[in-house]
């Protein structure tokens, strides 16, 4: 679904606020980007990749050890406390997901693999 610039401008002219979370869509490009791929839009807004955003939620805010086991799969041990704010929407979730992604990228190891 796409909204033309004319339609977008007409809706805005009526005083309608088009927003998601605390982001107001200022341009029709912004709104269409959101409508085309909401996950990508949200990940860009947060400043992480889509995979990082989805994985942080899938793992309920827990960071996993980055070591590989002998069979080649990733170690299932978790490290430290979870970033629980991941499930709150808005800015708090954004900073929790950023913090999660920073730890994920740093390649932390569990007590067995350290």
- Positions touching Zn ion (CB under 5 A) are 65, 67, 75, 77, 110, 113
Nearest distance in Å: CB 66, Zn ion: 8
Nearest distance in Å: CB 58, Zn ion: 18
Nearer to Zn ion, 30 or 59 (CB): 59
Nearer to Zn ion, 54 or 66 (CB): 66
Nearer to Zn ion, 22 or 73 (CB): 73
Helix %, strand %, coil % for the chain, to 5?
Answer: 50, 10, 45
Residues pairing with 17 in the sheet? none
- Between the two ends of the chain, the Cα-to-Cα distance in Å is 49
Nearer to Zn ion, 75 or 99 (CB): 75
Count, in order, helices (H) and strands (E) of the chain: 5, 4
Read off the tokens for 104.
């994920």
Nearest distance in Å: CB 73, Zn ion: 11
Read off the tokens for 83.
């970033």
Nearest distance in Å: CB 64, Zn ion: 8
3-class DSSP state for residue 16? coil
């Amino acid at each position: 679904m796409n909204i033309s610039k004319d339609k977008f401008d007409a809706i805005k002219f009526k005083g309608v606020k088009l927003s998601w979370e605390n982001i107001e869509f200022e341009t029709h490009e912004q709104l269409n980007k959101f409508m085309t791929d909401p996950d990508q839009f949200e990940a860009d807004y947060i400043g992480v990749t889509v995979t990082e955003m989805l994985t942080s939620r899938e793992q309920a805010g827990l960071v996993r050890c980055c070591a590989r086991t002998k069979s080649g799969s990733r170690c299932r041990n978790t490290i430290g406390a979870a970033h629980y704010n991941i499930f709150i929407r808005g800015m708090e979730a954004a900073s929790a997901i950023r913090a999660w992604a920073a730890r994920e990228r740093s390649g932390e190891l569990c007590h067995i693999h350290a």
